[in-house]
Each structure stands twice: as C-alpha cells, then as structure tokens.
Structure 1
Amino acid sequence: MVTMFWFALAIDLIAISLLSYVLYFRRHGRRDLLLAYVALNTGIFAVVSMMTGQEVALAVGFGLFGVLSILRLRSDLISQGEIGYYFTAIALGLINAVAISAPWVLLGLNALLLTVMYVGDHPRLLSRHERRMLTLDAIHEDPVALRQDLSARLRAQVTRVDVIEVDYVRDLMVVDVRFRVPAPTAPPARSGTAARWEGR
C-alpha cells in the first residue's frame, strides 16, 4: 500500500507539472495561476490520501471539490479557459488519491484529462474565432445596423451579438461580440519574369 501511495504521488506530480507548466504556463504565461494549480492539486491529493476508507475519501474529496470551486469562482476574475484548468487540477488530485488501488484506471484517467486539455486549448483549434466585450460610442436600435458597425470596426465576420448595457444618458452601449477573423492572405508570388528583371 505504501508503494502504491508513492506511485500515485509520482503520477500526480508528473500530471500536474504537465498541466500547469507545459500546457498552461507556456501558452498563457500567468505564474500566479501556475502556483495556484499546483498548490490545489497537491493539497487535494494530500488531504484525500489521509482518509482511511475509500468511500470516506471520495465523499470528502467531492466536498473539497465543491468548496474550493465556490471559493475560487468568487475571487478575482479569471477566464473560462483558466477555470477549466482549475477544475482539471482539482480532478487530477482527487483521482490520483482515490484510485491508488487501480493503477491502470489512474493512469488512464490522467492521460484522458491531459489529452482533453491539450486538444481543447490548442492554439490552432478554432483560432480564428474570438470574443470581446466592446463599449460603443453610439446606440444602435437596429440589430442589422449594429452588426454592420461591429463588422466594420473589427474587420471580421460577426457571428453573434448580445447587448449587455444601453446608456442613453452617455449615448453608449456595451455589447458582447463573437466574431470570426478572416484567414490571412498569402503574399502574391513573384513572377519569373520579374525575378529575372530584378537580377539584371
């Protein structure tokens, strides 16, 4: 049992290192959240591992999962993607502490979570789709005119617009915009004649 504990701890440390540094920090660069992910993961693993029975450990683990989630979501603002990393860090610690007696299940779930985060947060996945909160210095009553104005400002294809706030006193509106940026155009190829002429 002691051997399996150290095995699970090693797997957990490897998994959280891959998640927090290789996947998250190298893509997003926030050192504070890297530390938060590592601390939460190892803390969950340590507390749940101290529980004597597997059923008790599972119940306590899910309780900690819920409490820490509420505390984290009520603190400073983080993006939805960073919340995904946050939950994955907690899940890794919980899985590795509970599934000590089933090493193949433990390894499989670790690999599954890391693979999902690698693919889901890959820079090339839906890289042309973006979302922004914009404050416009004009109020558009017509949805078509609003889309046209946003398309001209963003130079992109607007796919969805949600009006968050309209202020008639200051003559402005706040909108949540989802848009698709155009694909970058390749530079025109130089013709052979032009290349020979420049070489003379």
Structure 2
Amino acid sequence: MSQLILFAIDIGAVVLLVFGLYFPRHRRRDLVVAYLGVNVGVLAVASALSASNVGAGLGLGLALFGVLSIIRLRSTELDQHEVAYYFSALALGILGALSTTSIWLSAGLMGLIVVVMFLGDHPRLLRHYRHQIMVLDSAVTDHVTLVAQLEQLLGGRVHVATVQRLDLVNETTWVDVRYSVKGRSARAAAAPAQAGVH
C-alpha cells in the first residue's frame, strides 16, 4: 500500500514539476514528453528491480547511465536548466520506487526537489543577468574595445566576453557574452541593438 502511495506522490510531483513549473516558464512541448517519460520509465524499472533479486545499486546505475546517454546523444541542444529538469524528473522516479525508505522521507525529498527547482528557475532570480552569443560585423582584436562595443550595443555591463571566432577576412567577431542590465524592462534587455549584430 505504501508503494502505491509513493507512486501517486511521484506522479503528482512530476506533473507539478512539468506542468506547474517547466512548461509555463519555458514553453517547450517536446521536453514535456521527455520529462514525463524519463520519470515514469525510471519509476517502473527501479520498482521492478527493487522487487527482484537484482541489487538496487545496479538498477540505479543502469537508470543513470540511460539518462546520461540520452542527454549525451541528443539530437537537439539542451540548456543547462533543461538538463536540471531531466535530473529532477529522474530523481523523482527513483525516490518513488524506493520502498525501503520511509514514505515521509521519500515524499519530503520529492517536495524538496520541486521547491528547489521552483526557486532556482524562478524568473525573478538573477533576472538582470543575461547570456548571449553575438556576431559583430567587425573584427575586433582589442579586448577593451570589444567590451566597450558590447556594452554600448547591449546597454549593460559586460562581465565576461569570450571570443569564439575572429574572422579577419570577412570582418566578423563571434563572442560569448555574459552581462547584466539594470533599470530596464526584460523585453528591452532581451533585445539588443540591431546595429552591428547578426
């Protein structure tokens, strides 16, 4: 009976994680299926292994290996927050299958995962900080000049500017920029000036 309660708590937690947190904030429908599938798949496999003579460590190792393989062999690019949701869905499935622990401990840990993801991925947390890959229509070799040009284009303070490619023939600079913008709306901060940026 306690196992069925854990299953129900896991399903409730992953539904809250996916439909209450992830999808309203990021609107990526394809990953909704992935998170639900990972959670239920790990829950089913870990439950079956816990009921057999196979060691729980082997089962968890296989589950982690499978998820890591999926993430490594993915066909589309995932952001770091999306990887975090993957592991949260995985952890919820594992906790839902562990009948050896207290039901309250498992439920509490599931709740902790959801709360941490709610806070860590909250739009207001570090909302002034941005990350962007930019292509400038000029070859900038001086770092100070590059930072000044980026700050003018972005209207904020550049914290890190890493040149990924410098093309002196075609006069372009590819740069990975970490910057912060204060006192502006999120819409204005997310849309840099168009001049000189492709």
TM-score (ref. length: structure 2): 0.87
**8 A Cα contact 2:135 2:172, kept in partner:** yes
| Unmatched tracts of structure 1, length 5 or more | 186-200
Partner of 2:150: 150
Report the secondary structure of 1:26's partner residue.
Answer: helix
RMSD: 1.6
1:175 and 1:47 map into 2 onto residues whose CA distance is 44
1:107-118 paired onto structure 2 within 5 Å: 107-118=107-118
Write out per-residue CA displacement over residues 180-199 of structure 1, whole angstroms, 9 at most, x where no aligned residue.
Answer: 012138xxxxxxxxxxxxxx
1:132 and 1:28 map into 2 onto residues whose CA distance is 17
**8 A Cα contact 1:159 1:178, kept in partner:** yes
Tell me which amino acid in the other structure corresponds to 2:112: L
| Unmatched tracts of structure 2, length 5 or more | 186-198
Give how far 1:94 is off: 1.0
Give how far 1:59 is off: 2.3
2:165 and 2:142 map into 1 onto residues whose CA distance is 15
Quickly say closer, same or farther: Cα 1:137–1:103, change in 2 above 3 A.
same
Write out per-residue CA displacement over residues 103-136 of structure 1, whole angstroms, 9 at most, x where no aligned residue.
Answer: 1210111011111100000010001100000111
Quickly say closer, same or farther: Cα 1:122–1:54, change in 2 above 3 A.
farther
Give how far 1:93 is off: 0.4
Give how far 1:57 is off: 2.5
**8 A Cα contact 1:58 1:98, kept in partner:** no
Give the aligned length.
183
Partner of 1:48: 46
Quickly say closer, same or farther: Cα 1:14–1:151, change in 2 above 3 A.
same
Quickly say closer, same or farther: Cα 1:99–1:117, change in 2 above 3 A.
farther
Partner of 2:12: 14
Report the secondary structure of 1:50's partner residue.
Answer: helix
Report the secondary structure of 1:177's partner residue.
Answer: strand
Percent sequence identity over matched residues?
Answer: 34
Higher deviation after alignment, 110-119 or 54-63: 54-63
Tell me which amino acid in the other structure corresponds to 1:12: D
Tell me which amino acid in the other structure corresponds to 1:141: T
Give how far 1:165 is off: 1.1
**8 A Cα contact 1:100 1:106, kept in partner:** no
1:44 and 1:151 map into 2 onto residues whose CA distance is 46
* Moved segments of 4+, more than 6 Å: none
Kindly name which structure, 1 or 2, has the bigger radius of gyration based on alpha carbons: 1
2:46 and 2:96 map into 1 onto residues whose CA distance is 9
Report the secondary structure of 1:111's partner residue.
Answer: helix
Partner of 1:73: 72
